[in-house]
Amino acid sequence: MNDTFLKACRGEKTDYTPIWIMRQAGRYLPQYLEVRARGKGTFLDLCKDPARCTEVTLQPVDIFGMDAAILFSDILIPMEAMGLTLEFQEGRGPVFPNPIQSEKDVEALIIPDPTATMPFVLKTIKLLRAELKVPLIGFSGAPFTLATYLIEGGSSKVFLQTKKMMFQAPELYHHLLEKISRCTSLYLQAQAKTGAQALQIFDSWAGILAPCDYARFALPYVQSIISDLRRMTDVPIIYFANNGSTLIEHTVTAGADVLGLDWRINIKNAIMRVGNHAVQGNLDPIALFLPEKDLKNRIKKLLEDARGAKGHIFNLGHGVVPQTPPEQVRIAVDAVHEFSVR
């Protein structure tokens, strides 16, 4: 068992810097596309098929030697389990045809028992643990990020409906967030109980909030989930607030062990502000298109800049894009391993 990743999360000494990359099992991999095509169904069907989920989760570990695997799933799976209709439309991303608009809508949401409603996720975790020689990361969306999809009915540009609800109907907003948080808390607890060895909370849209709004409308729900988790498990918790460089003063209070960083900040600068946290990140995903020599130099520099960290897990600053040549991912993984040997 390669536990380098877990050690880095805990700020323990490691022989080298571990690496995994967000969306490492995904569309840039021909092997993934093959599995996707074989099953014929939709993306959601794939998420609910433990055998295929296991297969694609293992791919980047087997192909590139990643130091951690992340459960193949989608952050919106538990939102469907709350009773909402969820569709993935080609080119439009996730869509909730009946977005949350009223107290009645919020009241209709159920708090799902993960074992009963999302058995496929827990089954996948079990299958993966039987195969994996590296730690398995479970994950969820952060309540605020999940709420944006539910309120906007999908992705958004300026998040008008979400902010309008915050500003004009704060009680409704907080009621919704409480229910999402309870669901998410149970969901992550179930993942840890079943065998996930670390948990990442993705706050993909945190960066659209002014710091004062983030502190009031997003952060408390992350804190509450993490404090629930702390009572039942000691698995490392990673919190990734995307585009969140101006929120670090707040995100350090979330209760996580590791803070994920997007690529917009120099990692050295971030490390000075994260206190007693390990950090994860933060190569620009598009930097994977650099010529080999330049890519290696950039990775070397990033590793040097991260030397002062309590712990460093190498990652991209956001998900790998589908157009990325797999060979470039291999170069990056090898470079991280080579340059970080201590």
- 74 is a catalytic site residue: yes
Residue pair 340/303 in contact (Cβ under 8 Å)? The answer is yes
What does the alpha-carbon distance between residue 312 and residue 308 come to, in Å, rounded to a whole number?
A: 9
Q: CA end-to-end span of the chain, whole Å?
A: 20
Q: How far is the CB of 263 from its own copies (least distance, A)?
A: 5
Q: Which of 27, 123, 129, 264 binds its own copies (CB under 8 A)?
A: 264
Q: How far apart are CA 337 and CA 95, in angstroms?
A: 39
Distances (CA, A) of 298 to 65, 118, 166, 188: 20, 41, 41, 35
- Other residues' Cβ atoms within 10 Å of the Cβ of residue 60: 27
For residue 264, indicate whether it is catalytic.
Answer: no
- Give me the catalytic one of 3, 10, 16, 27: 27
**Residue 41 or 325: which CB sits closer to its own copies?**
325
Q: Are 66 and 19 in contact (CB under 8 A)?
A: yes
The only residue of 16, 88, 120, 289 in contact with its own copies, by rule CB under 8 A:
289
Residues 160 and 176: their CA atoms lie apart, in Å, by 17
Q: Which is nearer to its own copies, 5 or 217 (CB)?
A: 217
Tell me whether residue 216 is one of the annotated catalytic residues.
no
Least distance to its own copies, CB of residue 28, Å: 12
Of positions 89, 98, 115, 269, contacts its own copies by CB under 8 A: 269
List phi, psi (to 5°) of 321. -85, 150
10 Å CB burial of residue 107 (0-12, 13-18, 19+) is: exposed
168 versus 276: smaller Cβ distance to its own copies: 168
User: 187: helix, coil or strand?
Assistant: helix
Annotated active-site residue in 32, 36, 67, 239? 36
Q: Residue-wise over 252-267: b if at least 16 C-beta within 10 A, else e?
A: bebbbbbbbbbbbbeb
How far apart are the C-alpha atoms of 249 and 314, rounded to whole Å? 22
Which of 32, 173, 205, 263: binder of its own copies (CB under 8 A)?
263
CB atoms within 10 A of CB 33: 14
- Using CB under 8 A as the binding rule, whether residue 158 contacts its own copies is answered as yes
Residues 307-326 that bind its own copies (CB under 8 A): 317, 321, 323
Is residue 33 a contact point for its own copies (CB under 8 A)? no
For the question of residue 27 being annotated catalytic, the response is yes
Is residue 102 close enough to count as binding its own copies by CB under 8 A? no
Contact status: 209 vs its own copies (CB under 8 A): yes
Of 243, 251, 315, 340, the residue at the interface with its own copies (CB under 8 A) is 243
In the complex, the smallest distance separating the C-beta of residue 244 from its own copies, rounded to whole angstroms, is 9
Among 7, 23, 52, 163, binds its own copies (CB under 8 A): 163
Q: Give the shortest CB-204-to-its own copies separation in angstroms.
A: 13
Contact 26, 319 (CB under 8 A): yes
Per CB under 8 A, the segment of 4-12, 82-90, 223-231, 282-290 that binds its own copies is 282-290
Cβ neighbors of 171 (< 8 A, separation 6 or more) are none
Q: Is there binding between residue 252 and its own copies (CB under 8 A)? A: no
Q: Is 213 a catalytic residue?
A: no
Distance CA 32, CA 323 (A): 13
Q: Which of 32, 52, 67, 149 is catalytic?
A: 149
Position among 71, 84, 265, 313 found at the interface with its own copies (CB under 8 A): 265
CB of 321 to its own copies, least distance (A): 6
Q: Which residues bind its own copies (CB under 8 A)?
A: 158-160, 163-164, 167-168, 207-213, 243, 245-246, 263-266, 269, 284-287, 289-291, 294, 317, 321, 323
Positions marked active-site = 23, 27, 36, 74, 149
